[in-house]
Chain A
Amino acid sequence: MCLCMIPTTRIGNLMPEIFQYEFMNRAIVASVLVGVTAPAIGMFLVLRRLSLIADTLSHVAFAGVAVALITKSFTPIVAFIATATAAVSIEELRVRRLLPGDAALAVFLYGALALAVVLISASDGFNTTIFSYLFGSLLSVSMTDLWWMGILALVIVLFLFMFRFELTQITFDPDLAKTNGVRVHMLNLSLAILTAGTITVSMRVVGVLLVGALIVIPVLVSIRVVKGLTLTLIVSSALGVFVAVFGMVISFYADLAPGGSVVLIAISLLIIVEIGALIKRNFFGSSQLMQSSDHTHAHEFHAHGVNESATDDRHSHR
C-alpha cells in the first residue's frame, strides 16, 4: 500500500485504535470528569462514615431513570431531581433525628429499588437502555451528556475549592465547625445536592450499581497512602481519573462492562496498598512504636514552667 496516497489512513494507523472511535473519545472525556468529581465528593462522605449514602442515592437515581424512560423525559434531569430530593430528605431526617442515619438510608434504598422494579415491570420490562444505566456503557455517553457532565463537574470543583476550609471542618467535627461560625446545615445540604449530581453523571459511565464504588474506593486508597486533607483530596481525584480511564481502555479492548472494569481496577489498587501497609506495619511497626514513644515524652503543657513528664503514651488507634 502506498502511504503517500492515503495520508488520512496513515495518521489513523499511527493513532491507537481506541481514539479512532468518536464514542470512545466521549467515553474517555466522561471518565476524566467522573474520575475527578466522584472521589472529591466522596472524601467528605467517607470521612464522615457516610459511604453508603452514595449507594442509596444511586438506587434513587435508578428509580429516576425508570420514571424518565416511562414518561419519555430527559433522563439526566429526572434522575437528578429524584436523587437531589432524596439527598436533601435524608439529610433533614438525620438532622431532625426523625430517623437514625442508617435507617433513613435503608428506607430510601429499598423504596427506590422497589419503585424502579415496579415501574420497569409495568412497562416493557428490562431492555438495553436499562442495562446501560445499571452497568454503564461506552456507547451511552452522548454529546449532550458530556455537556451536562462538564457543567456539573465545573460546579462541583468550584464548590469544593470555595468551601474546602468549611467542608473539612464539618467533616472533622460539625459542632466545632458551628462554633467557628461555619454554616454547617447550609453546606451539608449543598454537599447532599452535589452528591446527587455526581451520581447522576457518574451512572452513565460506571452504572448505578457501581457508582458508589468510584465515590468511595479511590478515597480509601488515598487515605492509606498520603497525609493532609488537601493532598488526600487531590490524590483521590487523581486516582479516580486513573481508574476510570484505565477501566474504560480495558473494557474497550477486552469487550467488558466498563463499570465492572473500573471498579475492579480500583479494588485491585486498594488491595495492593492495604497489603503494602500490612507488610510495612509487620516489618517496620516496632521501630515506629519506639519513635512515637520517644515523641510523647517531649510533649508537655508549658504554662508556668511545669515540667513534670507526661506519661500519656496510650495511643488511640480506634
Chain B
Amino acid sequence: MNDNSQSNPIQVDVESFPRPEKIPIRFDETWFAYDSVPVVRDINFSIMPGEFAAILGPNGSGKTTLMKLALGLLKPSSGRVLLFGEPSDNFTDWHRIGYVPQRIQTTEYRFPASVREIVQFGAYSGFSFFRSFKHNENSRVDDAMELAGIRELAGRRVSDISVGQQQRMLIARALVRRPDLLVMDEPVAGVDAAGEDQFHSMVRRLNRDLGITIVMVSHDIGAVMREATTCACINQDIVFHGPVHQLDANALSALYGFPVDVLMHDPDHTHR
C-alpha cells in the first residue's frame, strides 16, 4: 500500500483501508462507572487489524474493565464500544473472538471437567439439539492443545493442574476458535520466566504468521516494548496511545505517577 501511494498518490487502494466493520475494537467516547464512581473516562482509540496492542496501566486503572467493555461483558455508562463494527453488547459473531481472562472464575476446587473438555468449549459454535464434536473439531482441539503445550494434560482434572497450566489451557481454548481477534488479560500471571518466554514466542507467531489481532493487558513493560506494535497506557483515561517505539519515560512517568527511566536491553538478547 505504501509503495502504491508513494508512486501514484492519486490512486488509492480503498480495500487496504480498514472499513469500520473491519476494525476489531473501537472505543468511542467510552465511559464506565461502578456505582456512579467513574472507572473508565472518555476513552477514544481503535485497535486495527493485525495489530499487537498492549494495554498498560497501574493496578485499579481500569484495564480489565476496558477489556470487559470491549467484549460486551459490561455496558458503557456512556459512549460506545464497537467490536468489528457492531456495538459490543449486541455482538453476535463470537466465533471471531478469542478471550483469555486473568484467571478462571470457578471457585469449586474439585471442578470435575478434564482439561480437554474445557479446551473443547472453544469449538462451541452455537446451540444445536444433536450436537456432537465432529472430527475436524477434534483435530482443531488437538492442534490448539499441541500449540499451547498441554496435550499431555488432556485427561487431567482442571482443578489438579497449576495456575500456569490453567492459563495455557485457556489459551488453547481461545485458539480452537481460530479467532480474528485474541483478547488476553494478563495471560502470563502465574507463569514462570521460561513459560513466559515460550508464551511470547507463541503469541508472536499467532500475530505475525497467522495475522491474528492481539490485545494484551500486561504489567510487564519490557515484554510490551519487545513484543507489541502499539500500546495504550490507561489510568482511567488515556495517558498514551501510539506505536510502542514512541512510548518513552515521560509517558510512563505520567502513567505511574512517579519518575520512570527506560533502560534498553542489549538487542542481542531481545527477540526483535
Q: Interface of A with B (CB < 8 Å)? A: 46-49, 162-163, 165-166, 168-169, 171-182, 222-224, 226-229, 231-232, 292, 295-296, 298-304, 306, 308-318
Contacts and interface: CB of A to CB of B under 8 A. Distances in A.
B12 interface: no
A313 B162 CA distance: 7
Given A299-B168, A301-B201, 13 more contacts: A47-B111, A49-B108, A168-B117, A173-B104, A173-B105, A175-B71, A227-B114, A229-B113, A299-B153, A304-B204, A312-B164, A314-B163, A317-B159
A171 B242 CA distance: 39
A306 B148 CA distance: 12
A314 B161 CA distance: 8
A310 B164 CA distance: 10
A165 B153 CA distance: 21
A46 to B, nearest CB: 7
22 contacts: A47-B108, A49-B107, A165-B121, A172-B106, A175-B71, A175-B101, A177-B121, A179-B72, A223-B110, A226-B112, A295-B152, A295-B153, A295-B156, A301-B147, A301-B168, A301-B199, A301-B201, A302-B202, A308-B194, A308-B198, A312-B163, A318-B107
A145 B117 CA distance: 38
A48 B108 contact: yes
The 7 closest A-B pairs by CB, nearest first: A301-B198, A303-B202, A312-B164, A181-B94, A308-B194, A173-B105, A232-B112
Interface string B129-172: 10100000000000000111110110111111111111010100
Nearest to A183: B127
Contact of A310 (B72, B121, B192): B192
Interface string B84-107: 000000001011010101001111
Interface string B229-248: 00000000000000000000
Contact of B112 (A174, A228, A312): A228
Contacts of A232: 112
Contact of B126 (A48, A181, A301, A309): A181
Contacts of A176: 99, 101, 104-105, 121, 170, 173
B73 A179 contact: yes
A173 B99 CA distance: 12
A172 B16 CA distance: 40
Given A303-B205, A315-B162, A223 B112 contact: yes
A311 B192 contact: yes
A315 B191 CA distance: 12
Interface of B: 68, 71-73, 92, 94-95, 97, 99, 101, 104-114, 117-118, 121-122, 124-127, 129, 131, 146-150, 152-153, 155-166, 168, 170, 173, 190-192, 194-195, 197-199, 201-202, 204-205
Most chain B C-beta atoms within 10 Å of own C-beta, residue among A179, A231, A296, A300: A179
A296 B165 contact: yes
A181 B92 contact: yes
A312 B198 contact: no
Contacts of A228: 112-114, 117
A303 B147 contact: yes
A229 to B, nearest CB: 5
Contact of B124 (A165, A223, A310): A165
Nearest to A175: B73
B149 A300 contact: yes
Contacts of A310: 149, 164, 192, 194-195, 198
Given A165-B131, A166-B127, A299 B165 contact: yes
A174 B131 CA distance: 21
B72 A169 contact: no
Given A300-B149, A317-B159, A312 B192 contact: yes
Contacts of A304: 201-202, 204-205
Most chain B C-beta atoms within 10 Å of own C-beta, residue among A306, A308, A314: A306
A181 B95 contact: yes
A49 to B, nearest CB: 6
Contacts of B68: 175
A163 B127 contact: yes
Nearest to A229: B113
Contacts of A47: 106, 108, 111-112
Most chain B C-beta atoms within 10 Å of own C-beta, residue among A175, A312, A314: A312
A49 B106 CA distance: 9
Contacts of B198: 300-303, 306, 308, 310
Contacts of B126: 181
A218 to B, nearest CB: 13
A191 to B, nearest CB: 15
A290 to B, nearest CB: 14
Contacts of A49: 107-108
A298 B145 CA distance: 13
Contacts of A295: 152-153, 156
